[in-house]
Structure 1
Amino acid sequence: MAEHIEVILRSIGAFVLLLIGARILGKQTLSQMTIFDFIAAISLGSIAANLAFNLSIKSHHIGLSFIIFVAVAYFIAFVSLKNRKARKFFAGDPTIIIQNGKILEHNMKKMRYTLDYLNQQLREKDVFTIEEVLFALIETNGSLTVLKKPQFRSVTKQDIAALLTPEQRLPIELIMDGEIIEKNLTENELSHSWLNAELAKRQVSIKEVVYAVLAANGNVYVDTYNDHITSPIDQE
């Protein structure tokens, strides 16, 4: 087979493999990526590139390598979905860099995150004075999330009610995937009896809960595995 014909066929094959791999791994890999997603994406891209033009490597060997990488990435994503500790290991945790208008220099230093970059990302969020910020976090995908102090936000009906109980903390995750987050309860002096009482009000048990969080205003949000939705909307 002529080399240019082989390159054309291999390039088409590489494109098809990448398309299949992206569909298997899901939409998250295509959005802002975590460290794990980044490693998976560049690895699959490199393998596909070699399939397209590196004629010294047999195409079926590259195809096998691609399949193995997709399988490993899919397995890790599946484990992370089922296990909170695995998610923390592969994706990491968000890092607070501003708390109540104060920059946490130690946290920034650990991430090698500069003040220049912080100011740039704050400006992109229409924040020009750090004093306006109640909390700012670097998410696991590297983006900056900002919660302004109540007096600097656009006013809503809920904000008017919240003026009586101003926010002083971030929401506290209580339950995830049917398991109590003991560390958060301990650090915030919350008891199991209090949590059980909140769940009893909603007539659910811990194992029925996908996610429970204590909001800054003191309300507890609980989401269960059974959403009681007969026809859930899923837009692909």
Structure 2
Amino acid sequence: MPDLLDIIVRTSVAFFVLMIIAHVLGKQMISQMTYHDFIAAITLGSITANMAFNLQIKLVYMLTAIIVFSLITLLLTLVALKNRASRKWISGDPTVIIENGKILESNLKTLKYTMDSLNQALREKDIFNIEEVEYAILESDGHLSVLKKTPYQNIIKKDLVNMTSPPKEKFPVELIMDGKVIEKNLKQNALTNEWLYQELDKRKLSLKDVFYAVKGTNNQLVFDLYDDKLSSPIDIQ
């Protein structure tokens, strides 16, 4: 009977500790997982299970282990938020596997991602003909993002108003991330720092104001500022 009561107490403690940690670590832990999230979830689950049922290990030791591991996980998350290079190592990098309608076999091989897996992921997006795809990217959390070729894209009201021959879609070019210019992307797309700063000047912005900037599929420029001027951001409950 004492053992049964001990299990009930330890299981209850494990549940509430895990709930608290889930709130501290944030929503990303319960969404599709990156390398970092996957390792953290498995380890926390294992420690919590031992906390509940392994009566040979003192409860205080298990609590110490789960708190220390949670702090490490939180620290890595904060590092990933602050440093893009670290974020790539901690969370992984998106990888282009279809570019300009062509499958990049070398990237598939590197990712150990088969054509069967690719076709399945496309079918889940209601794409049964791979020829419809202009770009496909395997994101760091394992899901596939797809940009269709122009003739296969869904028509929206804007298209009906302007029924001219659409321009060829281009892949979005990230220009600024975390307030820093991505020099590699500028160079690969024949863009210059001078051009970028001119675009900032046109909008009366400086680099320190910009969190993220991208040149979109139709060459439109989008600048997201650190100061979004939102008094009450929406949070879906």
Q: Considering the TM-score relative to the shorter chain, is it more than 0.5? A: yes
Whether 1:166 aligns to 2:172 is no
Q: Would you identify which runs of 4 or more consecutive aligned residues in structure 1 move more than 4 Å? A: 157-162
How many aligned positions are there? 235
Q: Is the contact made by 2:150 and 2:166 (CA closer than 8 Å) also made in structure 1?
A: no
Task: Kindly indicate whether the alpha-carbon contact (under 8 Å) linking 2:211 and 2:224 is maintained by their aligned counterparts in 1.
Answer: yes
* Alpha carbons 1:102, 1:130 under 8 Å: kept: no
SS for the counterpart of 1:119 is: helix
Query: Shift in Å at residue 161 of structure 1?
Result: 6.8
| TM superposition shift of 1:157 | 4.2
In structure 1, what is the Cα distance between the partners aligned to 2:202 and 2:182? 20
Q: What corresponds to 2:186 in structure 1? A: 185
Q: Does structure 1 conserve the Cα–Cα contact (< 8 Å) formed by 2:99 and 2:134?
A: yes
Residue correspondence of structure 1 range 1-236 to structure 2 within 5 A? 2-159=2-159, 160=162, 163-167=165-169, 169-236=170-237
Tell whether the 8 Å contact from 1:10 to 1:59 is kept in structure 2 after alignment: yes
Does structure 2 retain, via aligned residues, the 8 Å contact 1:162–1:217? Answer: no
Q: C-alpha distance in 1, partners of 2:231/2:62?
A: 44
**C-alpha separation between the residues in 2 aligned to 1:71 and 1:108?**
35
SS in 1 for 2:168: coil
For the residues of structure 2 that align with 1:124 and 1:230, how far apart are their CA atoms?
38
Separation in 1, partners of 2:85, 2:233: 29
1:202 Cα offset (Å):
1.1
For 1:121 and 1:163, locate their aligned partners in 2 and report how far apart those are by CA, in whole Å.
30
Q: State the distance in 1 between where 2:164 and 2:190 align.
A: 23
CA distance in 1, matches of 2:74, 2:31: 16
For residues 47-89 of structure 1, give each alpha carbon's deviation from its aligned partner in whole angstroms, at most 9, with x where no partner exists. 0000000011111011001000110111111111111111111
Instruction: Quote the Cα distance in structure 2 between the aligned partners of 1:178 and 1:201.
Output: 18
Segments of 5+ residues of structure 2 without an aligned counterpart are none
> Normalising to structure 1: TM-score of the pair?
0.95
* Identity, % of aligned positions: 50
**Range 63-72 or range 148-157, more displaced:** 148-157
Amino acid in structure 2 at the alignment position of 1:36: H
> 1:21 & 1:230 partners in 2: Cα distance?
28
Query: 2:27 is aligned with what amino acid?
Result: K
State the Cα distance separating 1:158 from its structure 2 match. Answer: 4.4
Deviation at 1:143, TM superposition (A): 0.5
TM-score, normalising length: structure 2 = 0.95
Deviates more, 1:96-105 or 1:42-51: 96-105
Give secondary structure in 2 for the equivalent of 1:97.
strand
| Corresponding letter in the other structure for 1:61 | Y
